[in-house]
Structure 1
Amino acid sequence: MLDTGRIVIVGAGLGALYAALELAPHPVLVISPEPLGRGASSSWAQGGVAAAMERPDSPEAHAADTQRAGAGTVDSRVAAMVTRVARDHILDLTELGTPFDRDAAGNYVMNREAAHSAARVVRVKGDQAGHRIMQTLITAVRAARHVQVLENTLAVRLETNEDGVSGVWISRADTPSAAVLIRTPAVLLAGGGSGGLYAHTTNPPRIRGQVIGLAARAGARLADPEFVQFHPTAFDIGEDPAPLATEALRGEGAVLINTEGARFMLPVHPDAELAPRDIVARAIFAETQAGRRPMLDTRAALGAEVLSRFPTVAQTCARAGIDPVTEPIPVAVAAHYHMGGVEADMQGRSSLRKLWVCGEASSTGLHGANRLASNGLLEALVYARNAAQDIAAQLQTTAECAEIAPEFPVGGCPMDAKALTTLRETMTAFVGVRRDAAGLRRALAILARLEAEQAEDENFVNMCATATLIAAAALARQESRGGHYRDDYPETDPAQAQRTRITLAEALAIRARVQEDFQ
Structure 2
Amino acid sequence: MTQHCTDVLIIGAGLAGMATALSLPPHWRVALLCKGAAQECASAWAQGGIAAVIDPDDSIDAHVADTLVAGAGLCDEAAVRAIVEQAPAAIGWLVEHGVPFTRENGGGLHLTREGGHGCRRIVHAADATGQAVHTALLQACRERPNIALHEHTSALELLTEGAAPRCTGALVQLPGGALQRWHAAHTVLATGGLGQVYPYTTNPATATGDGVAMAWRAGCRVADLEFMQFHPTALQVNGRAAGLVSEALRGEGALLRLPDGTRFMPAHDARAELAPRDIVARAIWSEMARHGLPFVHLDISHRPRPWLQAHFPAIMALCAAHGIDIATQPIPVAPCAHYACGGVLAGIDGSTDVQDLRAIGEVARTGLHGANRLASNSLLECVVMGRAAAQAIAQQPAAAPLPQPVILPAQPPGETAALETASVETAAVARQLRQLMHDCVGIERSEQGLAHALQRISTLRESLPPAASHALRNQLDVCWLMASAAAARRESCGAHSFAAAL
Distance 1:336 1:455, change over 3 A: farther
Q: Pick from 453, 461, 464: which aligns with 1:453? A: 464
Deviation at 1:297, TM superposition (A): 0.5
Q: Distance in 1 between matches of 2:354 and 2:304?
A: 50
Give 2:499's aligned residue: 487
Trace 1:186-197 onto structure 2 (pairs within 5 A): 186-197=186-197
- Asked if residue 160 in structure 1 is aligned to residue 160 in structure 2, the reply is yes
The alignment covers a number of residue pairs equal to 478
Which residue does the alignment assign to 2:349? 347
Deviation, structure 1 residue 448: 2.1
Does structure 1 residue 215 correspond to structure 2 residue 215? yes
Task: Give, in whole Å, the separation in 1 of the partners of 2:234 and 2:302.
Answer: 20
Shift of 1:298: 0.8
Which residue of 2 is the match for residue 405 of structure 1?
none
Structure 1 residue 296: Cα displacement: 0.3
In structure 2, the residue matched to 1:470 is: 482
CA distance in 2, matches of 1:255, 1:303: 17
* Distance in 1 of aligned mates of 2:329 and 2:84: 38
- Which residue in 1 is equivalent to 2:443? 433
Matches within 5 A, 1:178-327: 178-238=178-238, 242-290=242-290, 291-292=292-293, 293-303=295-305, 305-327=307-329
- Measure, in 2, the Cα distance between the counterparts of 1:339 and 1:48: 18
What aligned pairs does 1:43-122 form with structure 2 within 5 A after superposition? 43-122=44-123
Deviations for 1:182-225, whole angstroms, at most 9, x for unmatched residues?
A: 12111000010111111110111111111111111212110111
**What amino acid maps onto 1:88 in structure 2?**
A
Q: 1:417 aligns with which of 420, 427, 444?
A: 427
Segments of structure 2 that go 5 or more residues without pairing to the other structure are 403-409
- Kindly state the Cα deviation for residue 266 of structure 1 after the two structures are TM-superposed: 1.0
Cα distance in 1 for partners of 2:16, 2:72 equals: 25
Counterpart residue identity of residue 367, structure 2: G
SS in 2 for 1:169: strand
* Equivalent-residue separation in structure 1 for 2:240 and 2:358 (angstroms): 31
1:217 and 1:465 in contact (8 A); partners too = no
C-alpha distance in structure 2 between counterparts of 1:446 and 1:156, whole Å? 24
Provide the C-alpha distance between the structure 1 equivalents of 2:456 and 2:181, rounded to a whole number of angstroms. 31
Segment drifting more, 15-24 vs 447-456: 447-456
Amino acid at match of 1:219: G
SS in 2 for 1:474: helix
Are residues 1:376 and 2:387 paired? no
Distance apart, 1:309 and its partner CA = 2.1
1:23–1:349 Cα change, 3 Å: same
Q: Structure 1 counterpart of 2:60, which letter?
A: P
Q: Which shows bigger deviation, 237-246 or 467-476?
A: 237-246
Measured after TM superposition, the shift of residue 301 of structure 1 is 3.7
Instruction: Tell me the equivalent position of 2:8.
Output: 7
Contiguous gaps of at least 5 residues in structure 1: 402-408, 491-519
Q: Distance in 1 between matches of 2:320 and 2:276?
A: 29
1:444 aligned residue (451, 454, 461) = 454
Report how far residue 41 of structure 1 moved: 0.3
- Encode CA deviations 1:295-349: one digit per residue, 9 max, x unaligned: 1001114555323421221122112111211111110110000001001013210
Q: CA deviation at 1:166?
A: 1.2
> Higher mean Cα deviation, 209-218 or 225-234?
209-218
Matched residue SS, 2:246: coil
**How far 1:396 sits from its partner (Å)?**
4.5
On the 8 A contact 2:9/2:187 being kept in 1, the answer is yes
What amino acid sits opposite 2:487 in the alignment?
L
- DSSP 3-state at the match of 2:334: strand
3-state secondary structure, aligned to 2:499: coil
- Pairwise CA RMSD: 2.0
SS in 1 for 2:225: coil
2:133 corresponds in structure 1 to: 133
- In structure 2, distance between residues paired with 1:328 and 1:137: 35
Paired residue type of 1:391: I
Q: 1:478 and 1:398, CA in 2 relative to 1: closer, same or farther beyond 3 A?
A: closer
CA contact (8 A) 1:479 1:489 kept: no
1:48–1:122 Cα contact (<8 Å) kept: yes
Q: Which amino acid in 2 is paired with 1:103?
A: E
The reply to whether residue 386 of structure 1 matches residue 398 of structure 2 is no
- Which letter maps to 2:15? L
CA distance in 2, matches of 1:133, 1:370: 24
Quote the Cα distance in structure 1 between the aligned partners of 2:46 and 2:143: 24
Q: 1:332-384 CA distances to partner (integer Å, 9 max, x unpaired)? A: 11000000100101321011111001000000000000000000000011111
Give the distance between the partners of 1:148 and 1:367, measured in 2 at CA. Answer: 32
**In the alignment, is the contact (CA less than 8 A) between 2:185 and 2:399 conserved in 1?**
no
